[in-house]
């Protein structure tokens, strides 16, 4: 297992009292073996199966797992995702934590895939944001990739994205971009949020590498894209704001020709993917 997730799994198992599962300890014989299946209960894209299986093996390294479906695969309802064999007690005590990871992450991948589907046929990519669950970002961003989306910067240390409050604090778009150019590591591009065409023009003049069209209506967005393609063809264009997982709006934004649409909803407002564990 990637060592990076070990600690997270262990904290989750402790949180759930999995090492002191009194129901299981008092109803299931110590030496009872069981076969079990992880089952999808709906259509969607699987994500988090690897970590879910690691949950069982973390609780009890003797639990054997057979992966039936890889992370990233689209499944039908009632598809078998994996089979488990081992101590009935261990399987039952780890079940809920495993399903909590699997349900959340497959939910992210499935919702992402739905959004990606909407923009198919355009060159627009669906991006995630930093609006992720605290301490689960790496897992959720991986689920976005599995759903066909792309990752925006991982965090504040690995990308420059100048937002309205930075602009206010710096005294203007030009000042903000100039400051960033002077101090940020030379391997980072500079992205600047703009809400009007005037701001877009100022950002381009100040030599932004990427422009983020925030909260613009479709008409303004279309104008901004035209302006940028004409005057600064090397500049990348991202759109965001009030799009959520509204599929109609998403299609309209993609049709404006932006390079990227970033969506908070694919990580912060995710319906759980329905999965269950059944004893054979």
Name which of residues 226 to 255 contact a second copy (CB under 8 A).
236, 238
Catalytic residue at 168?
no
**Active-site residue among 10, 16, 60, 96?**
96
83 has which bridge partners? 37, 66
Catalytic residue at 193?
yes
| Minimum distance, C-beta of residue 144 to a second copy, in the bound complex (Å) | 12
Q: How many CB atoms lie within 10 A of CB 20?
A: 10
Which x/- pattern, by CB under 8 A, does the window 31-70 give for a second copy? -x-x-x---------------------xx-----------
- Interaction between residue 24 and a second copy (CB under 8 A): yes
Cα(57)–Cα(68) distance, integer angstroms: 17
Q: Return the range that interacts with a second copy (CB under 8 A); candidates 72-80, 221-229, 246-254, 262-270.
A: 262-270
| Minimum distance, C-beta of residue 149 to a second copy, in the bound complex (Å) | 12
Give the pair of three-digit tokens for residue 68: 């039936």
What is the sign of the dihedral through the CA atoms of 126, 127, 131 and 134?
Answer: positive
Cα(135)–Cα(168) distance, integer angstroms: 30
For residue 48, give the nearest of 89, 12, 90 by alpha carbon: 12
Catalytic residue at 131?
yes
- Interaction between residue 107 and a second copy (CB under 8 A): yes
- Interaction between residue 11 and a second copy (CB under 8 A): yes
Query: Any idea what DSSP says for residue 215?
Result: S
* C-beta separation of 220 from 197 below 8 A: yes
Shorter beta-carbon distance to a second copy: residue 10 or 219? 10
- Interaction between residue 96 and a second copy (CB under 8 A): yes
Shorter beta-carbon distance to a second copy: residue 155 or 248? 155
For residue 267, give the nearest of 143, 124, 164, 170 by alpha carbon: 143
Q: Return the range that interacts with a second copy (CB under 8 A); candidates 19-27, 73-81, 222-230, 247-255.
A: 19-27
Residues 6 or more apart whose CB falls under 8 angstroms from that of 43 comprise 74, 75, 76, 77, 110
The binder of a second copy chosen from 30, 31, 134, 217 (CB under 8 A): 134
Residues serving a catalytic function are 96, 131, 163, 193, 214
């Amino acid at each position: 297992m990637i060592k990076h997730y070990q600690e997270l799994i262990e904290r989750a198992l402790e949180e759930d009292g999995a090492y002191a599962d009194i129901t299981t300890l008092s109803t299931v014989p110590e030496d009872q073996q069981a076969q079990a299946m992880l089952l999808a209960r709906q259509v969607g894209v699987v994500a988090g199966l690897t970590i879910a299986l690691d949950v069982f093996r973390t609780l009890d390294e003797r639990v054997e797992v057979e992966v039936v479906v890889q992370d990233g695969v689209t499944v039908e309802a009632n598809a078998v995702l994996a089979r488990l064999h081992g101590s009935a007690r261990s399987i039952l005590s780890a079940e809920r934590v495993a399903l909590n990871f699997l349900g959340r992450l497959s939910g992210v991948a499935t919702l992402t895939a739905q959004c990606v589907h909407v923009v198919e046929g355009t060159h627009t990519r669906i991006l995630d944001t930093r609006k992720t669950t605290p301490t689960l970002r790496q897992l959720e961003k991986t689920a976005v990739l599995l759903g066909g989306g792309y990752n925006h910067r991982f965090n504040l240390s690995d990308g420059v994205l100048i937002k309205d409050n930075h602009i206010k604090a710096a005294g203007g778009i030009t000042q903000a971009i100039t400051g960033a150019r002077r101090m940020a590591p030379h391997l980072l591009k500079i992205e600047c949020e703009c809400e009007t065409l005037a701001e877009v023009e100022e950002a381009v003049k100040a030599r932004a590498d990427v422009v983020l069209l925030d909260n613009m209506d479709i008409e303004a967005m279309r104008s901004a894209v035209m302006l940028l393609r004409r005057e600064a063809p090397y500049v990348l264009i991202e759109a965001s704001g009030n799009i959520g997982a509204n599929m109609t709006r998403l299609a309209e934004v993609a049709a404006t020709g932006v390079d990227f649409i970033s969506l908070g909803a694919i990580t912060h407002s995710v319906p759980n993917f329905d999965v269950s564990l059944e004893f054979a």
